[in-house]
Chains A and B, each alone.
Chain A
Amino acid sequence: MTAVFLRAPLERFFESPALRNWVTIFLAIVIQALPFLVLGVVLSGAIAALVPPEWLARVIPKNPALAVPMAGLAGVALPGCECGAVPIAGRLVSRGAPAPAALAFLLSAPAINPVVMVATAVAFPGKPAMVVARFGASLATAVIVGFLWTKIGREAWVERARRRVSHGGSRFEMFTETAEHDFLHAGGFLVVGGITAAMLQTIVPRSLLDSVAGSGLLAVATLAVLAVVLAICSEADAFVAAGLFQFSFTSRLVFLVVGPAVDVKLISLQVGTFGRSFALRFAPLTFVVAIGTSLIAGWLLL
């Protein structure tokens, strides 16, 4: 009601082209991400309803040397945007999965699933090494971060996800309540991520890229930061990277490996699901490891 009454005066206020640009990009990010988020929370609800508590802790090998790579490879099975992986990983943790395995899955699922691999192959025709390099570097990132987490990760940081209680009742009740709960929770943080990414895109002109394209390490650093700021879905970032042809293949690989692992949208979702102290450590760690693996993969393969 209020929206209808306020519309005319507010529309005048909202005439500014920068603001409209911001809103268009913001809505685009939210609309694009929404189906994947819904898919993620539906699966998360299914996990809550069908997987008995502590079952995962029994089934996943205790030895992280086995659990982490297994979980990393399991990422192949979940096609979709990174938005879906966060609620699922959170739910796995609440069901007793060891944190390093869940986090390895969190990182690998958006990056190595078949949809992303096909998209990368299509975007870089004649350069199949790009697909191999992306798969290898992303899986390596997931596994390395998982292993590092066994050393330096503290349970306290994933407490928030651990503590998440499922609602009682029948399986159907648990499924619908969990799915809705996760959607509302993650959705709010997706909005924050979308607003931030849209704002950064509106403020920073793309032409800034041209000045750094040629210069080696600066190009790598720029694309790594761009991947974080742009928050593009992993299905489409291959085409965006293909368009950045003033940059070397290796720096574009960095863009493709960093993007699904850490970006503004993801950080926001992780804060929501795992908590701020988690995100504060996880994001920079992932960022650095992702750059490292993609530089090595680029050096070896591209």
Chain B
Amino acid sequence: MKAEVRSSISLLIGVVTLRVATSGLMLNYVKLGMRPWLLASGAVLCFLGVIGFLRATRAGGDHEHDHPPSKAAWLLILPVLAASLMTPQALGTFAADRQSNVRAEPDADWPPLPEPTNGAVEMGLWEFTDRAFTDKNRSLEGTTVRLIGFVSPAEAGSDASFLLTRFAIQCCAADARALQVEIHGKPGPRAESWVEVTGEWIESESPDEDAFALPALQAKTLVPTKQPKVPYE
């Protein structure tokens, strides 16, 4: 592989990294905190690419010290191709359907809920799910909450209209965990579309029987909304 081509690849990866980091694209894959790291490494790669390219052209294309880094370097084109050929998207129903949901014991002491805004308490799916399962103070009882997520089809045979879903990530999309809440009472719009739902928690009558049951919400209002800039919790 000629030196100019190699350095072009480095430069390309650097530029793409910078683009992914400065636009909102990165949020489909990794957490916001990665931005400075991605910017720094993108800059380094651009630097190395430019220097390498200039060096190669100045040497006139004949480099005795040319030890090519092996054909594997071509593979770096793949992520660039993938990112440009496919509209970037966050994880969706496909991944959500393959999750496992197991509950922990209700033994946590949750603080009381904050004040409602516009008639409902805003809450992330993580907090809702966790409070529903583990809060021994049952702070969700009788309160209207507002949740945001995307629509996932409910399991066959369940009496829920749909599953409100959002992914929580620790590191990057590779470790994503689906948070799901059964929504009752309002029909679900198209799968994968994002909605904002307000409603009240439906307490499970026999919590011990089904370790895999999802928390449930009786919906009062349902409003379509756009995918948030940060799709993951």
Contact = CB atoms under 8 A, between A and B. Distances in A.
Interface of A: 3, 6-7, 10-11, 14, 17-18, 20-21, 23-32, 34-35, 37-39, 42, 165, 167-169, 173, 176-177, 179-185, 187-189, 191-192, 194-195, 197-198, 201-202, 205-207, 209-210, 213, 230-233, 235-237, 239-240, 243, 245-246, 272
B82 A184 contact: no
Contact of A198 (B51, B65, B92, B174): B174
Given A167-B65, A180-B10, A240 B170 contact: yes
B93 interface: yes
Contact of A231 (B34, B76, B104, B174): B174
Contact of B73 (A28, A31, A184, A213): A184
Contacts of B98: 205-207
Contacts of A25: 91, 173-174
Contact of A243 (B37, B88, B177): B177
Interface stretch (B39-47, B115-123, B202-210): B39-47
B69 A192 contact: no
A181 B81 CA distance: 21
Count chain A CB atoms within 10 A of each CB in B28, B34, B86, B212 and give the residue with the most. Answer: B86
Given A24-B91, A35-B37, A39-B41, 16 more contacts: A21-B95, A24-B28, A31-B79, A32-B171, A32-B174, A38-B41, A180-B7, A183-B45, A183-B48, A184-B9, A184-B69, A187-B13, A187-B73, A188-B69, A188-B75, A207-B98
Nearest to B28: A24
Binding site secondary structure of chain A: helix
B23 interface: no
A14 B175 contact: no
Chain B residues touching A, range: 35 or more
A239 B87 CA distance: 29
B49 to A, nearest CB: 7
Contacts of A197: 174
Contacts of B90: 24
B70 interface: yes
Given A29-B172, A38-B45, A185-B69, A180 B6 contact: yes
Given A7-B85, A32-B30, A188 B174 contact: no
Nearest to A32: B172
Contacts of B93: 17
A209 B177 CA distance: 13
B84 interface: yes
Contacts of B74: 188
A14 B85 contact: yes
A38 to B, nearest CB: 4
A184 B38 contact: no
Interface string B85-119: 11111111111001110101000000000000000
Given A35-B37, A188-B75, A210 B102 contact: yes
A32 B48 CA distance: 20
Contacts of B75: 187-189, 191-192
Nearest to B104: A245
B38 A28 contact: no
A24 B30 CA distance: 10
Nearest to B71: A188
B72 A188 contact: yes
A232 B70 contact: no
Given A38-B41, A207-B98, A209-B100, A28 B49 contact: no
A239 B126 CA distance: 14
B170 A236 contact: yes
B52 A176 contact: yes
